[in-house]
């Protein structure tokens, strides 16, 4: 068992690193000269970057696929913190996430940042994937030359150790803050990171004085039934068998939520389990209608790609032949994160929602990257049946589909993608097929009447807790722009 008390004694934190015109963090919250991202200062927030060094165990699977420690090994990584400047404004909640290997992006931050700064939460992102260390060093050799993660299987203990450092104040950014709860989340590959963290026992090992240092989990757009992508390997590239119980979320004594789009739900059937309210089994599955794996529909606050391009690094395009979806999955996500936070903080159980249904009329798989994919049931408009009934599906302006096709020469995998086929890149991107204007007029009369019904559907969803009232104006404005006048 990992002795986190012992490892914390060896933890060294350097920083915060200086920020000037020449050197800023990769993935900084705000690029003023581009007006890109979120200007933290206007929200009373600060951004701090640290170099964290210490010892973290490397891991492997034994012949029976049980986790076995290979012993503690040195590491040095970077940690990016966003927090209220005034401690009195801090809510007590920390949103912790492992950075995605694609340009070391903080995908949770990109989805929930407006809610984080609105509520006084803190956000912490940690570099944990060895290939991105080389990217960081190449991007800014002086700033990141110390970074080193020798073994990819150290990443679970690195994140766990950081959670322990936050809980105990060993990370200086939290020495003056009263941390009450830490939620770990991830998207796609980092969502799979979280599932593996739970399934391989890292949550149970990650304790200080007997107390767990992570209080809840949100696993986003990652399906446990998706073969190799759905569960990370602990050794020699071996893949956990599809029937292994670790692919289905178990009982961990803290809330665990899975948040899926239609794309991941196509492989989720064989790892489905009921929602539960405890006392130890606390679980929800949320499937958001009219969404896909790659989030479109709004300008992302992520700055990583722009920063990479400014220094001459290639950032492969990801363009599709179809019209990208205008679905605002981020706004539903903010409401669901708020619900999970209440669950952890106050024990208020979040809503249970309808789930997608699989198309019993077809036993064939769907076009896509996973052979175990199964088609979801769709209505006469081609929109999915079931799930959280978002207003863009409940009062449809278009058909929303989770897969697309690549624009020739303009859709390429990123450097750390687990595939090289542009078709697989586009397969992750959702698109929309607007109804003909004549059909829209037949159904709704005119655009003003349509938006009235859309607003009512949005308010109904907010009443269920799956959308925040504060986000209604943004949703209505963005959808009105998408639909135009007719």
> Does the pLDDT of residue 369 top 60, yes or no?
no
pLDDT one-digit tens code per residue, 425-451: 999 999 999 999 999 999 999 999 999
Query: Residue 45: beta bridge partners?
Result: 84
pLDDT of residue 18: 94
> Does the pLDDT of residue 291 top 90, yes or no?
yes
Percent of the chain with pLDDT strictly greater than 90: 89
Rounded Cα–Cα distance for residues 304 and 419 (Å)? 21
Rounded Cα–Cα distance for residues 409 and 150 (Å)? 35
pLDDT one-digit tens code per residue, 3-53: 577 778 889 999 999 998 889 999 999 999 999 999 999 999 999 999 999
Which residues lie closer than 8 Å to 326 by C-beta, 6 or more apart? 296, 297, 392, 432, 478, 479, 482
Rounded Cα–Cα distance for residues 88 and 72 (Å)? 38
| Average pLDDT score over residue span 216-237 | 95
Rounded Cα–Cα distance for residues 414 and 103 (Å)? 9
CA distances from 304 to 98, 136, 316, 426, 458 (A): 15, 11, 13, 21, 32
> Does the pLDDT of residue 371 top 80, yes or no?
no
Angle of helix 437-444 relative to helix 447-463, nearest 10 degrees, comes to: 70
Q: What is the enclosing helix (H) or strand (E) of 407?
A: strand 406-411
| Average pLDDT score over residue span 373-382 | 96
pLDDT of residue 1: 43
Lowest mean pLDDT among 357-366, 403-412, 452-461: 357-366
The values of phi and psi at residue 468, to 5°, are -95, 140
Lowest mean pLDDT among 142-146, 276-280, 284-288, 414-418: 414-418
More confident residue, 441 or 372: 441
> Does the pLDDT of residue 365 top 60, yes or no?
no
| Average pLDDT score over residue span 157-169 | 95
Which residues lie closer than 8 Å to 441 by C-beta, 6 or more apart? 486
| Average pLDDT score over residue span 265-282 | 96
Tell me if 13 sits within 8 A of 165, measured CB to CB: yes
Structure tokens at 220: 């986003």
Among 30, 155, 145, residue whose Cα is nearest residue 82: 30
pLDDT of residue 420: 82
Tell me if 89 sits within 8 A of 22, measured CB to CB: no
Instruction: Verify cis geometry, omega within 30 degrees of 0, for the bond prior to 277.
Output: no
Rounded Cα–Cα distance for residues 409 and 318 (Å)? 10
pTM score, whole prediction: 0.96
> Does the pLDDT of residue 214 top 80, yes or no?
yes
Among 45, 38, 37, 30, residue whose Cα is nearest residue 90: 45
pLDDT of residue 9: 81
Q: What is the enclosing helix (H) or strand (E) of 30?
A: strand 30-31
Instruction: Verify cis geometry, omega within 30 degrees of 0, for the bond prior to 427.
Output: no
Q: What is the enclosing helix (H) or strand (E) of 416?
A: none
pLDDT one-digit tens code per residue, 87-114: 999 999 999 999 999 999 999 999 999 9
Q: Which residue carries 């979120």 as its tokens? A: 38
CATH 3.30.70.870 matches 4-294+328-346: no
Quote the DSSP letter at residue 315. -
pLDDT of residue 209: 86
pLDDT of residue 417: 80
pLDDT of residue 416: 84
> Does the pLDDT of residue 77 top 50, yes or no?
yes
Structure tokens at 296: 């479109």
pLDDT one-digit tens code per residue, 385-422: 999 999 999 999 999 999 999 999 999 988 888 778 99
């Amino acid at each position: 068992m990992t002795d986190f008390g012992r490892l914390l004694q060896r933890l060294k934190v350097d920083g915060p690193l200086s920020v000037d015109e020449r050197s800023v963090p990769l993935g900084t919250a705000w690029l003023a000269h581009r007006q890109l991202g979120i200007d933290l200062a206007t929200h009373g927030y600060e951004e701090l970057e640290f170099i964290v060094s210490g010892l973290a165990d490397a891991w492997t699977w034994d012949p029976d696929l049980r986790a076995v420690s290979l012993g503690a090994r040195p590491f040095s990584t970077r940690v990016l913190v966003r927090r209220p400047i005034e401690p009195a404004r801090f809510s007590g909640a920390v949103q912790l996430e492992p950075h995605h290997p694609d340009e070391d992006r903080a995908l949770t931050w990109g989805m929930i940042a407006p809610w984080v700064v609105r509520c006084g939460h803190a956000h912490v992102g940690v570099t944990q994937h060895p290939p991105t260390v080389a990217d960081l060093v190449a991007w800014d050799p002086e700033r990141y030359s110390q970074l080193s993660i020798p073994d990819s299987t150290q990443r679970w203990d690195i994140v766990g150790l950081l959670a322990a450092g936050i809980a105990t104040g060993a990370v200086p950014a939290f020495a003056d803050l009263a941390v009450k709860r830490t939620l770990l989340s991830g998207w796609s590959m980092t969502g799979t990171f979280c599932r593996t963290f739970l399934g391989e026992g890292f949550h149970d090992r990650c304790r200080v004085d007997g107390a767990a240092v992570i209080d809840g989990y949100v696993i986003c757009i990652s399906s446990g039934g998706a073969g190799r992508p759905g569960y990370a390997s602990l050794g020699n590239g071996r893949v956990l068998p599809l029937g292994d119980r670790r692919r289905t979320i178990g009982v961990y004594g803290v809330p665990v939520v899975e948040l899926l789009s239609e794309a991941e739900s196509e492989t989720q059937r064989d790892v489905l389990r009921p929602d539960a309210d405890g006392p130890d089994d606390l679980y929800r599955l949320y499937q958001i209608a009219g969404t896909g794996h790659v989030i479109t529909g709004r300008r992302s606050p992520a700055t990583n790609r722009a920063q990479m391009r400014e220094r001459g690094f290639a950032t492969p395009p990801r363009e599709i032949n179809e019209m990208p979806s205008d679905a605002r999955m981020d706004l539903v996500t903010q409401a669901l994160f708020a619900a999970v936070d209440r669950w952890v903080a106050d024990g208020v159980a979040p809503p249970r929602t309808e789930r997608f249904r699989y198309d019993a009329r077809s036993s064939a798989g769907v076009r896509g990257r996973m052979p175990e994919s199964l088609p979801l049931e769709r209505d006469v408009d081609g929109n999915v049946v079931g799930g959280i009934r978002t207003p863009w599906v409940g009062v449809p302006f278009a058909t929303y589909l989770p897969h697309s096709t690549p624009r020739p020469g303009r859709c390429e995998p990123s450097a750390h993608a687990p595939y090289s086929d542009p078709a697989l890149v586009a397969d992750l991107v959702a698109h929309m097929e607007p109804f003909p204007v004549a059909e829209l007029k037949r159904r709704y009369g005119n655009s003003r009447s349509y938006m009235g019904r859309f607003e009512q559907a949005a308010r109904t969803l907010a009443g269920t807790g799956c959308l925040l009232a504060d986000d209604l104006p943004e949703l209505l404005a963005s959808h009105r722009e998408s639909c135009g006048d007719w």
